[in-house]
């Protein structure tokens, strides 16, 4: 990667525009009525504009992580991760914030779709980048896998049945993509195709697994609906940490 | 504002003593001495403890052990658990508590308080 302000400017603009649109959408009610989407994540819905304050504002972590990724991409030395992919990853991590906040702030159906879409984008990126390195392909393979991942998730997400542990089919598709990315990354490490700082990969995996444990505990047992300290909010913060460490792992490859 | 007043400091033209500089110096100290690591451990431990404690305290309110309730009170316990998950339910709980306190002090409890519909 070359030094330059491009990544931080693009990610900053993405953050400003997406968060601005979210504020407008919540204020003007563009996302539709409250249908209780995301109400299963413990926090009690308030009467104000922001239905679930803790679960909404904890998404700032994603915006911060995305901007941190962009800043690192702006100043880091050259590596295998090309600059425009680092910038794209920074923007996708930034979008996780307003996407998830759209659901928790409004509990609307459209907010729920934005939340799921932002998750699909990041998971598809992880799979596409791993597949590109595993198969030795170029940008075309990356784009094809990325679009295929999103399409797969959207199709699976159409099924309205309940899935054990992860609740919905969309979550199951998201989890499947993350597991696929993890398996491919482990295979790449075993193949020793490139040198990278593995501690970042382990830190990302540890943060994600801890977050998933808290996600389950907060949904099923450890719940105080009226507290501003929510397990699901901790899930958001830990996922942001995992995304940042995943980027650092990618960026450390030589 | 200076935290240390001394004649030597007054003669020293290079030592900065403005509040902003002192805050910057504190941030640099936390960063460069890796004190942030201790703060991080503290934040994680306190957050984990608070989550566990909150969850444990409210567990039986959210998930009442129905097998221990008499058959005629189970439906009410389920309804209260559902109600406790809503913001209105919280306000209702506060009002019910007030109503209980009224009864404890021999004051006649009001019906809106008991059903959670009165003004708080």
Taking 50 as the threshold, does the pLDDT of residue B115 lie above it?
A: no
CB contact under 8 A, B51 and A214: yes
Residues of A in contact with B47 (CB under 8 A): 229, 234
In a domain, residue A115? The reply is yes
What's the mean pLDDT in B37-59?
90
**Per residue in A150-170, pLDDT tens?**
999 999 989 888 888 888 899
Residue A89 belongs to a domain: yes
What is the ipTM metric for this complex? 0.78
Within-domain flag for A1: no
Evaluate whether residue A47 is within a structural domain: yes
Q: Note the pTM of the prediction, 2 decimals.
A: 0.81
User: How do the residues of chain B divide into helix, strand and coil, expressed in percent and rounded to 5?
Assistant: 70, 0, 30
Question: Does residue A236 form part of some domain?
Answer: yes
Q: Which residues of A touch B63 (CB under 8 A)?
A: 221
Residue A208 included in any domain: yes
CB pairs under 8 A between A and B: 48
The owner of tokens 């980048």 is A129
Predicted confidence (pLDDT) at residue B12 exceeds the cutoff of 70: yes
What is the pLDDT of chain A when averaged over all its residues? Answer: 91
> Rounded to a whole number, what is the distance in Å from the CA of B77 to chain A's nearest CA?
17
Write the CA distances from A221 to A227, A231, B45, B57, integer angstroms: 15, 10, 20, 11
Is A150 domain-assigned?
Answer: yes
Count of structural domains within chain A = 1
Residue B37 exposure: Cα atoms within 13 Å on the Cβ side:
3
Domain membership of residue A123 (yes or no) is: yes
State yes or no: pLDDT of A18 exceeds 90.
Answer: yes
pLDDT digits (tens, 9 = 90+) for A61-76: 999 999 999 999 988 8
| Per-residue confidence (pLDDT) for residue B101, from 0 to 100 | 43
Q: What is the pLDDT of residue B90?
A: 53
Residues in B whose CB is inside 8 Å of some CB of A read 47, 50-52, 54-59, 62-63, 84-87, 89-90
Domain of residue A193 covers: 6-252
pLDDT, average across residues A177-197: 88
Give the torsion sign (CA, B31, B37, B40, B42): negative
């Amino acid at each position: 990667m070359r030094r330059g302000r491009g990544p931080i400017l693009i990610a900053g603009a993405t953050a400003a525009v997406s968060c601005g649109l979210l504020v407008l959408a919540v204020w003007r009610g563009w996302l539709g009525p409250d249908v209780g989407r995301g109400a299963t994540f413990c926090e009690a819905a308030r009467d104000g504009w922001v239905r679930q304050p803790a679960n909404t504002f904890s998404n700032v972590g994603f915006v911060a992580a995305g901007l941190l990724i962009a800043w690192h991409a702006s100043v880091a030395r050259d590596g295998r991760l090309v600059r425009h992919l680092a910038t794209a990853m920074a923007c996708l991590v930034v979008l996780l914030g307003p996407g998830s906040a759209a659901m928790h702030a409004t509990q609307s159906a459209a907010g729920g779709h934005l939340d799921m879409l932002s998750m699909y984008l990041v998971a598809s990126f992880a799979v596409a980048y791993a597949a590109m390195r595993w198969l030795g392909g170029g940008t075309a393979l990356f784009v094809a896998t990325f679009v295929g991942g999103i399409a797969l998730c959207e199709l699976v997400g159409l099924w309205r049945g309940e899935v054990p542990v992860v609740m919905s089919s969309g979550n199951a598709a998201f989890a499947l993509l993350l597991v696929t990315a993890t398996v491919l990354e482990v295979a790449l490490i075993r193949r020793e195709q490139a040198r990278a700082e593995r501690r970042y990969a382990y830190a990302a995996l540890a943060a994600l697994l801890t977050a998933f444990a808290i996600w389950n505990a907060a949904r099923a047992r450890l719940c105080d609906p009226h507290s501003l300290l929510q397990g699901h909010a901790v899930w958001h913060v830990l996922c942001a940490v995992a995304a940042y460490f995943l980027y650092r792992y990618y960026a450390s490859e030589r | 504002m200076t935290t240390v007043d001394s004649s030597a400091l007054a003669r020293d033209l290079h030592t900065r003593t403005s509040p902003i500089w002192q805050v910057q110096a504190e941030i640099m100290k936390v960063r460069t001495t890796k004190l942030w690591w201790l703060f991080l451990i503290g934040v994680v431990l306190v957050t984990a403890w608070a989550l566990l404690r909150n969850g444990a305290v409210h567990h039986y309110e959210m998930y009442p052990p129905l097998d221990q309730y008499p058959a005629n009170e189970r439906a009410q316990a389920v309804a209260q658990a559902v109600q406790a998950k809503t913001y209105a339910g919280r306000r209702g709980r506060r009002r019910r508590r007030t109503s209980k306190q009224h009864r404890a002090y021999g004051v006649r409890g009001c019906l809106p308080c008991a059903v959670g519909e009165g003004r708080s």
